[in-house]
Amino acid sequence: IQNGRVIDPSQRLDRIANLLLRDGVIAGFDEQPSSEATIVDAEGLLVVPGLIDINTQLREPGWEEDETIATGTAAAVAGGFTSLAVGPNTDPPLDSQGSVEFVQHQAALAGNCNVVVLACVSKNREGAELAELGSLHAAGAVGFTDAGRPIHNADLMRRALQYAKMFDRPVLNHPEVLELNQDGVMHEGELSTVLGLRVMPAEAEDVMTGRDIRLAEATRGKLHLINISSGDSVELLRRAKDRGVPITAGIAAHHFSLTDAWLRTFDSNCKVNPPLRSRR
């Protein structure tokens, strides 16, 4: 593989280089190819280790007409992803030992890439009663989340962090106070007033971000916040990390490049949760 931009964070490597592959394994670096070698010109392309998606939504079980574990993992490999952590927002949700084992079995049968399971925090993703985290961990779950449903019950969230800490597993939460967002469709700001659309204020995210950080700090349980979008949430996370709170967060790709100004087009593709925020 010639002329590609080789990036390997484990070796702090980021430069244009050649890779020699033999029988599917990297056998040399910056070597000149032999006359028998098959040459792949990667100029203008990235050459990287397999990518990992820690927040994948495969539709099986329950929504096989949209996607199966086999087709979803095949699509992942085609896009360069070799490991997936799949969420529990299926039908039924992944809140039992059998459901976790089912996903693992189907992934093994497909044989496309590595698949690990994020199981439910609460039974049936209803946010009322803690799922059997011990059994889910024993079945192979690597973390716990209710996916797109925020864990609104603070006591349940606290107990989940305490329980998951016993297994050194993270709890992943979507930070959103539903009462503040209600039926909103866009970020609250000057543009929402001009367009006359119902709003999703940044406070709906910031309030739960602050709550979860405090609970993680108190319990020392590992916390990951899914798809943050607010500048104030970023600042809360920065301060928490400075204090040594065991917390991480993810950001959706569109929040890096799009703002609420895109809502001027009334394109329904821009109706996302969390919403596209202001440029600030």
Over range 177-205, report the average pLDDT. 95
Over range 109-135, report the average pLDDT. 97
Do residues 54 and 48 touch, judged by C-beta distance below 8 A?
A: no
For 67, counting Cβ atoms within 10 Å of its Cβ (0-12 exposed, 13-18 middle, 19+ buried), the class is: middle
Note the pLDDT of residue 139: 97
Which of 27-41, 89-103, 128-142, 234-248 is predicted with the least confidence, judged by mean pLDDT?
27-41
Other CB atoms closer than 10 Å to residue 23's CB: what's the count?
5
Q: What percent of the chain has pLDDT over 90?
A: 91
Q: Indicate whether 31 pLDDT > 90.
A: no
Give the span between the Cα atoms of 250 and 92, in whole angstroms.
Answer: 26
Alpha carbon of residue 59 to chain centroid: 15
Q: Indicate whether 280 pLDDT > 90.
A: no
Q: Indicate whether 36 pLDDT > 90.
A: no
Mean pLDDT of the chain: 95
Note the pLDDT of residue 130: 97
Note the pLDDT of residue 217: 98
Note the pLDDT of residue 191: 94
pLDDT digits (tens, 9 = 90+) for 53-89: 998 999 999 999 999 999 999 999 999 999 999 999 9
Note the pLDDT of residue 89: 95
Higher pLDDT among residues 35 and 270, named by residue: 270
Note the pLDDT of residue 34: 82
Q: Indicate whether 158 pLDDT > 90.
A: yes
Helix residue ranges per DSSP H, 170-259? 178-181, 190-195, 203-219, 231-242, 254-257
Over range 148-171, report the average pLDDT. 97
Do residues 280 and 234 touch, judged by C-beta distance below 8 A?
A: no
pLDDT digits (tens, 9 = 90+) for 246-270: 999 999 999 999 999 999 999 999 9
Over range 25-42, report the average pLDDT. 87
Note the pLDDT of residue 30: 84
Give the span between the Cα atoms of 216 and 207, in whole angstroms.
Answer: 14
Q: Indicate whether 228 pLDDT > 90.
A: yes
Nearest to 85 by CA among 96, 76, 74: 76
pLDDT digits (tens, 9 = 90+) for 13-25: 999 999 999 998 8
